[in-house]
Amino acid sequence: MSTYTATLGGHRYRFGSLARLLAAASPERSGDRLAGLAAASAQERVAARWALAEVPLTRFLAEQVIPYEDDDVTRLIVDTHDPVAFAPVAGLTVGEFREWLLSEAADATALAALAPGLTPEMAAAVSKLMGNADLVAVARKVRVVTAFRSTIGLPGRLATRLQPNHPTDDPAGVAAALLDGLLLGSGDAVIGINPATDSPRAVRDLLDLLDGVISRYAIPTQSCVLCHVTTSLDLMERGAPVDLVFQSIAGTQAANASFGVTLALLDEAYEAARALGRGTVGDNVMYFETGQGSALSADAHHGVDQQTVEARAYAVARRYDPLLVNTVVGFIGPEYLYDGRQILRAALEDHFCGKLLGLPMGLDICYTNHADADDDDIATMLTMLGVAGASFVICTPGGDDIMLNYQSASYHDALYLREVLGLRPAPEFEAWLAGIGLLDERGGLRDTGTGHPLTAIGRELAA
């Protein structure tokens, strides 16, 4: 291990390893303090950034933040690194890399070609030297396009996950919320339910319900019931209509173990889902959620700061060419991201790092009631992430999820974002909305009231 040093204000600061340097350079957040990794002072933090700016990118290939022999995520990162893709930036330091990313040379084509040559730690490192505006400016240049029954990530598009959760998985309650979301133009990324239990029977019932509605109304979207990957494998064997395999993942082998997940298990599920061939316009079959703090929460962070560990989870995700990846930023609580300011910063970092590494990055922009944040923070974050070109956002009825007990964006929030930024839904879904009379002549959402034929979904429940 090398020692990294910088002098600031007449004081010489020393950082004993790349992991220590990255942690000290990270913008302030409660989780790094909890882990005992944060810079001890504001000046030490800036000194770490001076030192980090001088580190050559090649250093990240020589010094791993978690040893190769201890961790299968490190092995995945090292073994799949593409030196040819890396070549255009191989001579740069982290500070120079920031400037290159912001330059015109780093256009959509160059950034797409670079992704396999970057390690998560390089992306995390450069993010620590970037301001919020930098994170927006670079991320918006990156385009990652994926498809299943709809196409996600095209320029000028913003997709949404319709999240009709119910605290007891009651099919009628789910269907009522599903109708609400569809009438508000949501669901082109996925119609995704977090089930209250991981019971295979309950998950199967929800899958059948969603598959029935998607088939009946020929909706160009995909469903997902967010159960454990082993439950999905079991259900696929039993012939259930599984469009996307979901799994929460993290950036260390030990944290993934705490989720009951191994790379071998994900490999198996990926192959099984692809074999079903249920996509129409594409075959991206995986859906991952991540979030800063999960590794620390599982005591599996190996002394690496939470933003760097989060970026490492994207190395796991990109192995599977996922349709969707979203960070659930703010869900984990104030011990990791204390307030709206820290949640915003993390959202921008995660989106930037995910896109830079080649992922179809979306967000669950959210907060819990024990964090110091509110619906104004949602609006701020949503606007910045819309400008940054987020692939999709999760939306809930009225911004309130009654199953997971947290607040996220609402369907209304997504309409706001489409309105102010001129963003449109996924093309297949937009055509479907137009075909069933939910779009006006300007492409905005028509207020059809309860007279629309889709309300048959609800009328059958209500009658």
Q: Which of residues 180-219 bind other proteins (CB under 8 A)?
A: 180, 196-202
* Secondary structure class of 394 (helix, strand, coil): strand
Q: Which is nearer to other proteins, 319 or 412 (CB)?
A: 412
- φ, ψ for residue 123, nearest 5 deg: -65, -45
For residues 51 and 4, the answer to whether their CB atoms sit within 8 Å is yes
Count of positions (residues) in the chain: 463
CB of 41 to other proteins, least distance (A): 19
User: How far is the C-alpha of 168 from the C-alpha of 172, rounded, in Å?
Assistant: 11
In the complex, the smallest distance separating the C-beta of residue 295 from other proteins, rounded to whole angstroms, is 12
Q: Which is nearer to other proteins, 164 or 354 (CB)?
A: 164
Exactly one of 298, 387, 423, 436 binds other proteins (CB under 8 A); which one?
A: 298
Q: Please give the distance of CA 314 from its chain centroid, rounded to a whole number.
A: 9
User: How distant, in Å, are the alpha carbons of 94, 103, 360 from that of 139?
Assistant: 17, 13, 11
Q: Which is nearer to other proteins, 333 or 358 (CB)?
A: 333
Q: How far is the CB of 209 from other proteins (least distance, A)?
A: 13
Among 166, 301, 302, 312, which residue sits at the site for other proteins (rule: CB under 8 A)?
166
Question: In DSSP terms, which residues pair with 147 in a beta bridge?
Answer: 151
The single residue among 177, 346, 438, 439 that binds other proteins, judged by CB under 8 A, is 177
| Least gap, CB of 376 to other proteins (angstroms) | 10
Interacting positions 236-295 with other proteins (CB under 8 A): 257-260
- Which residues make beta-bridge pairs with 161? 190, 394
Q: How many residues bind other proteins (CB under 8 A)?
A: 73
Position 158 contacts other proteins (CB under 8 A)? no
Q: How many CB atoms lie within 10 A of CB 129?
A: 18
| By CB under 8 A, residue 172 contacts other proteins | yes
Q: Please say which residue, 6 or 395, places its beta carbon nearer to other proteins.
A: 395
Helix, strand or coil for residue 405?
A: coil
- Please identify, using beta-carbon distances, which residue of 196 and 276 lies nearer to other proteins: 196
Q: Which residues contact 134 (CB under 8 A, 6 or more apart)?
A: 98, 101, 102
Asked if 423 and 185 count as a contact pair (C-beta separation under 8 A), the reply is no
Positions 356 through 375 that interact with other proteins (CB under 8 A) = 368-370, 374-375
Ramachandran sector of residue 103 (left: φ over 0; alpha: ψ -120 to 50; beta: rest): beta
Residue 364 three-state SS: strand
Q: How far is the CB of 389 from other proteins (least distance, A)?
A: 20
* Pairwise CA distance, residues 366 & 401, whole Å: 10
- The rounded distance, in Å, linking the Cα atoms of 149 and 189 is 9
Q: In the complex with other proteins, which residue's Cβ is closer, 27 or 399?
A: 399
Least separation, in Å, of the C-beta of 273 and other proteins? Answer: 19
Closer residue to other proteins, CB minimum distance, 96 or 335 = 335
Range 385-414, binding other proteins (CB under 8 A): 396-407, 410, 412
x-or-dash pattern for other proteins, window 134-153, by CB under 8 A? --------------------
For residue 154 the two structure tokens come to 């095209």
CA distance 253 to 335: 22
Residue 335 touching other proteins (CB under 8 A): yes
**What is the rounded distance in angstroms from the CA atom of residue 175 to the CA atom of residue 378?**
26
Residue for token pair 């034929």: 453
Closer Cβ to other proteins, 103 or 405, answer by number:
405
Taking CB under 8 A as the rule, which mask of x and - marks residues 409-438 in contact with other proteins?
-x-x--xx-xx-------------------
Q: Is 454 in the site for other proteins (CB under 8 A)?
A: no
Q: Out of 91, 167, 422, 437, point to the residue binding other proteins (CB under 8 A).
A: 167
Min CB(173)–other proteins separation in Å: 4
Query: Which residues, 6+ apart, have CB-to-CB distance to 364 below 8 Å?
Result: 161, 289, 326, 327, 328, 329, 330, 331, 393, 394, 408
C-beta closer to other proteins: residue 107 or 299: 299
- Of residues 101-140, which lie at the interface with other proteins (CB under 8 A)? none
Q: Which 10-49 residues touch other proteins, going by CB under 8 A?
A: 30, 34
Asked if 262 contacts 280 with a C-beta cutoff of 8 angstroms, the reply is no
Judge contact between 413 and 182, C-beta under 8 A.
Answer: no
Q: Residue 179 interacts with other proteins (CB under 8 A)? A: yes
In angstroms, give the least distance from the CB of 88 to other proteins: 41
